[in-house]
């Protein structure tokens, strides 16, 4: 055992090369070529594998007068002495938030890799309602739309399931150019469904805070947070609400909702309507169309217009891909935060305030709190946004270097105070970070992980951590 630990430590030291003094400014490369990705991936894949232990953590919290069943997974080395420390002397913990169609299981491969190769302790979470609590496998049964006309709905509390009489199923074509026809389950006012659809943002905040406090406590761990796609705005939201989050390790991660709203508008929507502007009480029920809106652009960027010459094959691949993913939740309520819809967030707060019979003053406070989930917090004594790395894959439908340079980076620079932000374009990969390619058995992710590790160990986040600790 001692020999294996020693070989792992030496390999990690060699991977990080010689660490410069923290006064030297280290930044990731703005572009990583495919050849570099292959070389970096081989280096990381060649590291010794540490034994990993994992356990699920499901618990109940009380938020807004309701009980919510939430949870995630906790991964760590079997030998806890393998957990490395960052330049500030704290153990390295990573908190991973999944994308818009999944649950914490979609981060399992990434989490095990980060623990097995680098020794970090990793915690993942599932958005409230996304976990199938009625079966230990967590696999959702059947398809999202059932033969009887009912649809799959969240399980926010396993003792209070949503029934078909609580919603109306509608079709929406207002965003058809990008999403096709949307199937919506719109909660009826006064129902359990309606109460949960207006209250889940507060449950999300509390779930993330609770998981990190339980497993990555301040004073022992520095937390580096990653949110995939839809998880990006939620990871950024949590950075100012959890004291020991010291850095954002982004890859295919959306920015704060109000920034992503501008990015999406720049894509050219003739109606001006955004996905997040759908009524807050309407749950989007995903279908094969959500696979098509990724696989179409990925085929175009990977093969060019010639991809359309094989359209029947592409259509078949879309349906096959969808069929393989129906055990995932495949519904989404998170649009108002993801797309920074302040109007819908305010309506959610008003609905919650009405249910709780809040005063006018407290209702306004709740509205401000809900709207605040979509942007950075400002003011005296507010924890600043920590340093960020934004990474993007070569064939990314929603994240391009051009949009980030023209829109995202200037909007982050306008914050008070502005956080340190770096943009890294990886010249390989798709939105699914671990999807294999030629010479890349885990896609670009091992190279992405090396960039994250170098950023942690070479002090990219260290100045912020030390300044915030001193301020405390």
pLDDT in tens, 186-209: 999 999 999 999 999 999 999 999
Q: Three-state SS for 392? A: strand
Give the model confidence (pLDDT) of 315-340 as tens digits. 999 999 999 999 999 999 999 999 99
Quick check: 17 pLDDT over 50? no
Q: Name residues whose C-beta falls within 8 Å of residue 354's C-beta, 6 or more positions apart in sequence.
A: none
Does residue 1 contact residue 79 with C-beta atoms inside 8 Å? yes
Within-domain flag for 41: yes
**pLDDT attached to residue 468:** 65
Give the model confidence (pLDDT) of 280-318 as tens digits. 999 999 999 988 888 888 888 888 888 888 888 899 999
Does residue 251 contact residue 113 with C-beta atoms inside 8 Å? no
Within-domain flag for 181: yes
Within-domain flag for 17: no
Within-domain flag for 6: no
What CATH number has the domain bearing residue 230? 3.40.50.1820
Distances (CA, A) of 313 to 294, 316, 329, 335: 15, 5, 26, 31
Within-domain flag for 223: yes
**pLDDT attached to residue 178:** 85
Give the model confidence (pLDDT) of 85-112 as tens digits. 999 999 999 999 999 999 999 999 999 9
Give 254 or 8, the one with higher predicted confidence.
Answer: 254
What's the structural domain count of the chain? 1
Per-residue pLDDT averaged across 35-49, rounded? 97
Which of 310-314, 395-399, 402-406 has the weakest average pLDDT?
395-399
Give the model confidence (pLDDT) of 134-160 as tens digits. 999 999 999 999 999 999 999 999 999
What's the domain range around 57? 26-471
Q: Name residues whose C-beta falls within 8 Å of residue 20's C-beta, 6 or more positions apart in sequence.
A: 26, 458, 459
**pLDDT attached to residue 304:** 85
Within-domain flag for 251: yes
Q: Give CA–CA dist 117/57, Å, rounded.
A: 23
Q: Name residues whose C-beta falls within 8 Å of residue 263's C-beta, 6 or more positions apart in sequence.
A: 255, 403, 407, 408
**pLDDT attached to residue 470:** 54
Per-residue pLDDT averaged across 214-227, rounded? 97
Which of 62-76, 108-122, 180-194, 302-316 has the weakest average pLDDT?
302-316
Within-domain flag for 338: yes
**Paired sense of beta strands 441-444 and 331-332, if any:** unpaired
Kindly tell me the burial class for residue 372, based on how many C-beta atoms sit within 10 Å of its own C-beta (0-12, 13-18, 19 or more). Answer: middle
Cβ neighbours, 10 Å, residue 313:
11
pLDDT over 70 for what percent of the chain?
A: 92
Q: What phi, psi does 72 have (nearest 5°)?
A: -170, -160
Count H helices and E strands in the chain, helices first. 16, 14
Q: Give CA–CA dist 152/146, Å, rounded.
A: 8
Q: Give CA–CA dist 349/85, Å, rounded.
A: 41
Per-residue pLDDT averaged across 332-351, rounded? 97
Within-domain flag for 11: no
**pLDDT attached to residue 269:** 53
**Paired sense of beta strands 282-285 and 421-426, if any:** unpaired
Distances (CA, A) of 288 to 270, 329, 397: 24, 13, 17
Per-residue pLDDT averaged across 386-394, rounded? 96
Q: Give CA–CA dist 184/167, Å, rounded.
A: 9
Give 20 or 351, the one with higher predicted confidence.
Answer: 351
Quick check: 15 pLDDT over 60? no
Helix, strand, coil percentages in the chain from 3-state DSSP, rounded to 5: 45, 20, 40
pLDDT band at 273 (very low <50, low <70, confident <90, very high): confident
């Amino acid at each position: 055992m001692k020999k294996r630990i020693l070989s792992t430590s030496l390999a990690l030291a060699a991977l990080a090369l010689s660490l410069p003094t923290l006064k030297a400014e280290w930044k990731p490369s703005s572009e990583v070529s495919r050849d570099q990705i292959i070389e970096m991936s081989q280096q990381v894949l060649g590291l010794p594998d540490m034994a990993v232990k994992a356990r699920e953590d499901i618990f109940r919290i009380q938020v807004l007068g309701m009980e919510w069943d939430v949870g995630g997974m906790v991964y760590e080395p079997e030998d806890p002495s393998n957990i490395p420390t960052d330049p500030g002397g704290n153990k390295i913990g990573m908190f991973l938030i999944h994308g818009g169609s999944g649950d914490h299981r979609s981060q399992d491969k990434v989490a095990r890799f980060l623990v097995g190769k680098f020794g970090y302790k990793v915690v993942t979470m599932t958005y409230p309602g996304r976990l199938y609590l009625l079966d230990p496998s967590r696999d959702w049964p059947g398809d999202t739309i059932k033969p009887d006309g009912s649809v799959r709905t969240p399980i926010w509390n396993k003792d209070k399931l949503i029934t078909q009489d609580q919603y109306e199923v509608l079709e929406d074509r207002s965003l058809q150019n990008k999403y096709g026809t949307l199937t919506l389950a719109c909660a009826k006012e006064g129902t359990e469904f309606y109460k949960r659809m207006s209250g889940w943002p507060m449950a999300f905040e509390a779930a993330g805070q609770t998981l990190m406090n339980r497993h990555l406590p301040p004073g022992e761990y520095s937390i580096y947070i990653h949110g995939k796609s839809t998880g990006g705005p939620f990871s950024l939201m949590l950075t100012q609400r959890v004291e020991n989050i010291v850095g954002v390790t982004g890859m295919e991660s959306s920015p704060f909702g109000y920034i992503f709203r501008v990015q999406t508008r720049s894509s050219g929507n003739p109606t001006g309507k955004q996905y997040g502007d759908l009524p807050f009480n309407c749950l989007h029920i995903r279908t094969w169309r959500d696979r098509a809106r990724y696989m179409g652009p990925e085929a175009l960027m990977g093969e060019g217009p010639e991809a359309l010459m094989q359209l029947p094959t592409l259509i078949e691949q879309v349906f096959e891909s969808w069929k393989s993913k129906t055990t995932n939740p495949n519904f989404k309520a998170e649009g108002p935060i993801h797309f920074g819809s302040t109007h819908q967030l305010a309506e959610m707060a008003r609905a919650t305030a009405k249910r709780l019979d809040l005063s006018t003053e407290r209702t306004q406070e709740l509205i401000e709190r809900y709207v605040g989930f979509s942007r950075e917090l400002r003011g005296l004594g507010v924890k600043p946004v920590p340093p960020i790395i934004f990474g993007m894959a070569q064939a990314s439908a929603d994240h391009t270097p051009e949009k980030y340079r023209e829109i995202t980076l200037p909007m982050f620079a306008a914050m008070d105070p502005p956080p340190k932000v770096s943009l890294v374009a990886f010249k390989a990969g798709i939105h699914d970070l671990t999807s294999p390619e030629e010479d890349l058995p885990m896609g670009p992710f091992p190279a992405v992980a090396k960039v994250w590790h170098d950023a942690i160990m070479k002090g990219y986040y260290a100045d912020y951590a030390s300044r915030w600790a001193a301020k405390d």
